[in-house]
Amino acid sequence: MRALHSGLALRLIWRERLVSRADLARRTGMSRSSMSAIVEDLLATGLVRETGTGDSSGGRRPILLGFQDDAHAICGVDLGATHVAVALTDLRIGVKAWRSEAHPVRDDPEGALDLMCRLVQEVLTEAGVSAQRLVGIGVAVPSPVSPADPESLSPLLVPRWRGHSPVRRLQAAFGVSAVMDNDANLGALAEQWWGAGQDGRDLAYVKIGTGVGAGLIIQGDIHRGATGVAGEIGHIPVDPAAGPCVCGLRGCLNLTVGSQALVDRVRNLRKTDERSVLPSRGLTVGRIVEGAFEGDALARSVIETAAGHLAIAVAALVNLLNPATIVFGGGLTRAGEMLLRPLRAHLGGRSPSASVTQTALAISSLGVEGIARGAATLVLRAALDDPNVFPSLRGAGTAVPSVTP
């Protein structure tokens, strides 16, 4: 019972930032003496400290308690399809050290895992944090993750990863617990905690990168579905002309709005369109967006076409789940209103107008660090739910798996 109340108190102190013992007692329904004993324990862990005094309500000014955001650290890993990024964060998911390198993650799991471990070690070194001070490591992967096999990527969608696990590798290398989830799910979690969907109970995050995926927050929690593939909107067919997909269907959204598809479309159109100033060599989504901002008509029309394809899948999301907010992230979203305006227009014709106008569409403000921060948030959320996960609270030898590298 005391552990339960201790967790409740710790979560309140984290959320409120500054709170007195009397407030804690009142809000948890405990006696002030019991709460004082719990607070003594929490002070001893280093997670909580006394920090100044609050306003008096007649008597002595109360001592305020604050959460020590830097008592421990968390590592968030973003394994994208074509990059590995690692953030070392404090306990409010503020980034203290950051590394990102391009890598063909889908095709080279061993190289990606080696790079991941090197970058984790680099952020630990830069921040002067030992692995023992980590609450844990969260990993975002470009694949659905089945609740029945939470340490593996999908053998269907990323076949080369069969037998390779980021979670097992990290636990072996650093001796701390690691958890992983789909990258779009963790993008959604990041938006719910730190971004455009803050405090939202029903929101969707759509990641447009090498492929397209959606993370869904339903009634406040990540919705993974029975086998972890909820939100795989990249495999909604939107244009039969786009040909066969790895999943067995034709014309999937991934094949029309994914990075390679956008680059290919520009290259094809350039053959007949002399006006464009876009280069045909070294073309990237970032360059297409830049071109659109410079007024390039071809770049703009490709973004508008992408918005039309995206609208088909987004309309399905709106009609099925009626999220309050849909947040878009990934390289193409740097186009901002150039993407959102045609998307809204296409959406208006595809979904009941009332539910569409009530769904806020926003571009993620979290930038390239968003997914890694979401991965770290997964660890933080688990620790706030069960404070025994914090290094300073766990008993000797418990919680940390002893794995021989």
Binding residues for Zn ion, rule: CB under 5 A, are 235, 245, 247, 249, 252
CB of 140 to Zn ion, least distance (A): 21
Helix or strand holding residue 382 (H, E): helix 370-385
Between the two ends of the chain, the Cα-to-Cα distance in Å is 38
Of the candidates 100, 64, 107, 96, the residue with the CA atom closest to the CA atom of residue 83 = 100
Own/partner contacts of 390-396, CB < 8 Å, gap of 24 or more, are 390/45, 390/47, 390/71, 390/72, 390/135, 391/72, 391/132, 391/133, 391/134, 391/135, 392/45, 392/46, 392/47, 392/71, 392/72, 393/45, 393/47
Alpha-carbon distance of 370 to 191, in angstroms, equals: 8
CB of 248 to Zn ion, least distance (A): 7
Please say which residue, 235 or 309, places its beta carbon nearer to Zn ion.
Answer: 235
> SS3 of 138, please?
strand
Please say which residue, 8 or 245, places its beta carbon nearer to Zn ion.
Answer: 245
Please say which residue, 9 or 310, places its beta carbon nearer to Zn ion.
Answer: 310
What tokens were used for 398?
A: 């418990």
Asked if residues 350 and 312 have their Cβ atoms less than 8 Å apart, the reply is: yes
Please say which residue, 102 or 249, places its beta carbon nearer to Zn ion.
Answer: 249
CB of 146 to Zn ion, least distance (A): 18
CB of 213 to Zn ion, least distance (A): 12
CB of 311 to Zn ion, least distance (A): 18
Please say which residue, 139 or 312, places its beta carbon nearer to Zn ion.
Answer: 312
CB of 232 to Zn ion, least distance (A): 8
Please say which residue, 169 or 309, places its beta carbon nearer to Zn ion.
Answer: 309
